Amino acid sequence: MNKKHNIVIVGGGSTYTLGIIESFLAEKEYFDIAKISFFDTDEERQKIMAEASKIILKERAPDIEFYYTSKDKEKAYKDCDFAFIQIREGGLKMREMDEKIPLSLGCVGQETCGAGGISYGLRSIGSLFEIVRDIRKYSPNAWIVNYTNPAAIIALALNREFPNDKKIFNLCDMPLGIMEALANLIGKNANDFIPEYFGLNHYGWFTALYNKEGHNLMPDILKLLTKENIDTHKLNIEKSTEKSWEDTYSHLVTMCKDMPGSIPSTYFQYYLYPKKIVEKSDCNYTRANEVMDHREKIEFQKARQIISEQTSKNVQTIADLHGRYIIQVVNSLANNLGKTSIIIVPNNGTISCLPDDAMVEVDCYVDRRGPRPFNVKEISTFQKALLQNQYALESLVVESWYNADRQKLIEALALNRTVVNFNVAQKLADKLLEANKKWLPQFFN
């Protein structure tokens, strides 16, 4: 019989919570759960997601013990086997700032790339450290799985602060999102793919997609992707209702044509075509506004309906891609399955042109010993330069946080392909630090 796991979700009030609960329930037979706890600093927000989750669990898995709190860290974190961190420091209101400040200076406004990602990263590092310390105090052996964004910067900071902690890893669902889109294009299931992928988070490339028989399907997929008049709706399955995601998938096709041979992360659109992205952006209505008007509203409406009807039977919650990815990885880990998944781990030689302490996103073998990366072979000069530049700037952000160093922050911004101009970097540094003053007192002493 499989072991039963205790899990904690930090950021229980997230818009992803219902999808994750649904994903856990879908895999309950394989990844058996004894107890789920939620912890969130926003008591009211979490209560809505938690009360709805409680009803879902009571109806579908009454054997799972459930608990939520905004205060009792000991009860939330004690004896857990897996801790999942999904917080949004400053909430969607601060995401709006991260996007609108850069746009006001003519730069890309995105929550994980460019100046917005740097702002979000600086704001979140301190809280992540506190959460990891709290978890470790009560559960020294738990696996800690972080997917809080900007995952690239958070992963680097966590690796620097906890270098000897070998049970923390970081995840991003975008590679699976792209694989599902590509699988859809050729009428297959993403689970049939064994990927080869390398880079940094939101900054990497697929170089091969093998099927179970060991044939690389990538050349055929690329041929299909880049042929004239491809219907990009075919690619975008889950996020198709939202305009900005529709555009993202059509840009993916453009990127495959412009950079033949591999399939890049969709996030490269911000770094490679920043001018086009800015021109298309509305500085009064960014992705944060779209999320507040769609995902956040929809998920909280669902939760409220479950609570008011005291049943989940009239509400459709789905095991979305995000939740499915998390469970796929932890299931392989807990049950020693040895599946290949794309995970953010310490480099240690995996990508030879990057230092050991870089946090790379690569295909990993996942079993009970945790994710172990496969070595990356050929990297073109162009890709090397992009990676080294991005690693340098992300390290400068972390460095700047530790030493309250405004100059390093300016350098990080200037190195970013969405900023480049040094004067703009200086202005951005001032504006971003001012907006994040509450979280970054060290810069104002």
By CB under 6 A, name the binding residues for ligand G6P: 112, 149, 172-174, 177, 287, 291
CB atoms within 10 A of CB 97: 21
Is residue 230 within the footprint of ligand NAD (CB under 6 A)?
Answer: no
Q: How far is 140 from 434, CA to CA, in rounded Å?
A: 37
Question: Looking at beta carbons only, is 70 or 112 nearer to ligand G6P?
Answer: 112
Q: Which of 378, 383, 385, 376 is closest to 351 using CA atoms?
A: 376
Residue 128 interacting entry, from ligand NAD, Mn ion, ligand G6P, none, C-beta within 5 to 8 Å by type: none
Q: Which of 26, 34, 61, 92 binds ligand NAD (CB under 6 A)?
A: 92
Residue 177 interacting entry, from ligand G6P, Mn ion, ligand NAD, none, C-beta within 5 to 8 Å by type: ligand G6P
Question: Looking at beta carbons only, is 45 or 417 nearer to ligand NAD?
Answer: 45
# binding residues, ligand NAD (CB under 6 A): 27
Is residue 347 within the footprint of ligand NAD (CB under 6 A)?
Answer: no
**C-beta pairs of 243-252 under 8 Å, 24+ apart in sequence:** 243/290, 244/287, 244/290, 247/280, 249/181, 252/178, 252/181, 252/225
SS3 82: strand
Question: Looking at beta carbons only, is 173 or 196 nearer to ligand G6P?
Answer: 173
Which listed residue (68, 77, 197, 267) is catalytic?
A: 267
Residue 398: CB minimum distance to ligand NAD, A: 17
Burial of 261 (0-12, 13-18, 19+ CB in 10 A): exposed
Residue 92: CB minimum distance to ligand NAD, A: 6
Listed in sequence order, the residues at least 6 apart from 301 whose beta carbon sits closer than 8 Å to its beta carbon are: none
Residue 173: CB minimum distance to ligand G6P, A: 5
Element housing 429 (H / E): helix 422-435
The single residue listed with the structure tokens 């030879």 is 352
What's the angle, vertex CA 427, arms to CA 423 and CA 428, rounded to 5? Answer: 110
Per DSSP, what are the bridge partners of residue 210?
Answer: 194, 216
Annotated catalytic, 267? yes
Which listed residue (173, 249, 270, 271) is catalytic?
A: 173
Q: How far is 224 from 244, CA to CA, in rounded Å?
A: 23
Residue 185: CB minimum distance to ligand NAD, A: 21
State the residues that interact with Mn ion by CB under 5 A: 172, 174
Is residue 322 within the footprint of ligand NAD (CB under 6 A)?
Answer: yes
Q: How far is 366 from 100, CA to CA, in rounded Å?
A: 39
Contact string 104-143 vs ligand NAD (x = CB under 6 A) = -----------------------x----------------
Residue 287 interacting entry, from Mn ion, ligand G6P, ligand NAD, none, C-beta within 5 to 8 Å by type: ligand G6P
Question: Looking at beta carbons only, is 48 or 174 nearer to ligand G6P?
Answer: 174
Half-sphere exposure of 290 (CA within 13 A, CB side): 15
Question: Looking at beta carbons only, is 127 or 281 nearer to ligand NAD?
Answer: 127
Q: How far is 388 from 405, CA to CA, in rounded Å?
A: 21
Question: Looking at beta carbons only, is 148 or 383 nearer to ligand NAD?
Answer: 148
Is residue 251 within the footprint of ligand NAD (CB under 6 A)?
Answer: no
Is residue 91 within the footprint of ligand NAD (CB under 6 A)?
Answer: yes
Question: Looking at beta carbons only, is 13 or 199 nearer to ligand NAD?
Answer: 13
End-to-end CA distance of the chain: 57
> Which letter does DSSP use for residue 344 in this model?
E
Question: Looking at beta carbons only, is 85 or 172 nearer to ligand G6P?
Answer: 172
Listed in sequence order, the residues at least 6 apart from 229 whose beta carbon sits closer than 8 Å to its beta carbon are: none
The single residue listed with the structure tokens 């095991």 is 319
Is residue 89 within the footprint of ligand NAD (CB under 6 A)?
Answer: yes
Residue 87 interacting entry, from ligand G6P, Mn ion, ligand NAD, none, C-beta within 5 to 8 Å by type: ligand NAD
Query: Residue 205 is which amino acid?
Result: W
Residue 433 backbone zone (phi > 0: left; psi -120 to 50: alpha; other: beta): alpha
Residue 322: CB minimum distance to ligand G6P, A: 6
Q: Which stretch binds ligand NAD (CB under 6 A): 1-9, 14-22, 97-105, 310-318?
A: 14-22
Q: Which of 149, 265, 286, 350 binds ligand NAD (CB under 6 A)?
A: 149
CA 316 to chain centre: 24
Annotated catalytic, 147? no
Q: How far is 438 from 138, CA to CA, in rounded Å?
A: 28
Residue 266: CB minimum distance to ligand NAD, A: 11
Closest-approach residue to ligand G6P (CB)? 174
Residues noted as catalytic:
173, 267
Binding site for ligand NAD (CB under 6 A): 10-11, 13-16, 40-42, 45-46, 86-89, 91-92, 127, 147-149, 151, 171-174, 322
